[in-house]
Amino acid sequence: MAARWAVAEAAAQRVLQDRLDDRSELTEPVVARTVLGATPSDHAVVLASSMPVRDVEWFSAPRRDHPVVLVNRGANGIDGVVSTAMGVAMSGRPVVALVGDLAFLHDLTAWVRPAGTGEPGCTVVVVDNGGGGIFSFLPQAGALAPETFAALFATPQAVDVAAAARGLGVATTEVSDAAHLAVLLGGSGDVPAAAHGLRVLVVRAPDHRANVRIHGELEAAVTEAVEHALSS
Ligand SMILES: Cc1ncc(C[n+]2csc(CCOP(=O)(O)OP(=O)(O)O)c2C)c(N)n1
Ligand SMILES: [Mg+2]
């Protein structure tokens, strides 16, 4: 039984490697994989609920020296995640956090801090898909008129996330390339994230429907590869 699991796991990992590594476009699966892959092992990765925690579980590559991964609420509950990241960083372990735009905005006051004190090493990667991308995976997304679905489920928002972060005095970079994100997170080994103090990296992600399609294609490819590996 364990041997079959190993065969299935290897087949799934080959597909994810093939489809996600060396891709420049920052889809949500690529962002998740890059965050866990590029964060130095002496850091902590703090994950928001909604899609970040799911995408990291589904799409990150196995890594023996992975950083410790922390979540404050599990799979649900988008509140307080930036505060949690800040608290972990203040304990001395530098942090890279991965949060959605709504989770980021929900906890915007986490960035209000005493003047003149040192800043902890806390990099927050915000996946900005303009609202709650997770809800487009619900069957209601296909059953309701788009305006009704948006009003009842999708929680659309149009805040300029980077401007909000800059307004709170946080060094902010908009990132649109996976290799650039990896370098900014310290994946190249020369500039650890801790050296940057407080920092926000904003990734503008594909829209909600495209995100569902991207997830569906990956799931179908993994399923096919696993079935093939197990039957041969
Ligand atoms: C405090 C709180 N309010 C509302 C919700 C309901 N909720 C679950 S996921 C979600 C959307 C989160 O959006 P975002 O952080 O942008 O992540 P995405 O779904 O786009 O990955 C919401 C509003 C919740 N879980 N917790
Ligand atoms: Mg979102």
Q: Tokens at residue 6, please?
A: 């190993």
Q: Tokens at residue 159, please?
A: 């805040």
Q: 198 by DSSP, 3-state: which?
A: strand
Q: What whole-number distance in Å separates Cα of residue 91 and Cα of residue 127?
A: 25
Per-residue pLDDT band for 191 (boundaries 50, 70, 90) equals: low
pLDDT tens digits, one per residue of 34-49: 999 999 999 999 999 9
Q: Looking at the predicted structure, is the pLDDT value of residue 194 above 70?
A: no
Indicate the class that CATH gives domain 25-216. alpha beta
pLDDT for res 188: 58
pLDDT for res 224: 98
Find the 103 Cα to ligand 1 centroid distance in Å.
6
What average pLDDT is seen over the chain?
Answer: 94
Q: What whole-number distance in Å separates Cα of residue 156 and Cα of residue 124?
A: 21
11 Rama sector, left if φ>0, alpha if ψ -120 to 50, beta otherwise? alpha
- Kind and range of the H or E run holding 60: none
Q: 116 by DSSP, 3-state: which?
A: coil
The percentage of the chain sitting over the pLDDT mark of 70, rounded to a whole number, equals: 96
Give the angle 167-170-175 at the CA atoms, nearest 5°.
100
pLDDT for res 189: 57
- Nearest ligand 1 atom to the CA of 99 is 15
Nearest CA to ligand 1 atom 9: 50
Confidence (pTM): 0.96
Find the 101 Cα to ligand 1 centroid distance in Å.
9
pLDDT tens digits, one per residue of 153-173: 999 999 999 999 999 999 999
Instruction: Return the closest-CA partner of residue 155 out of 103, 108, 95.
Output: 103
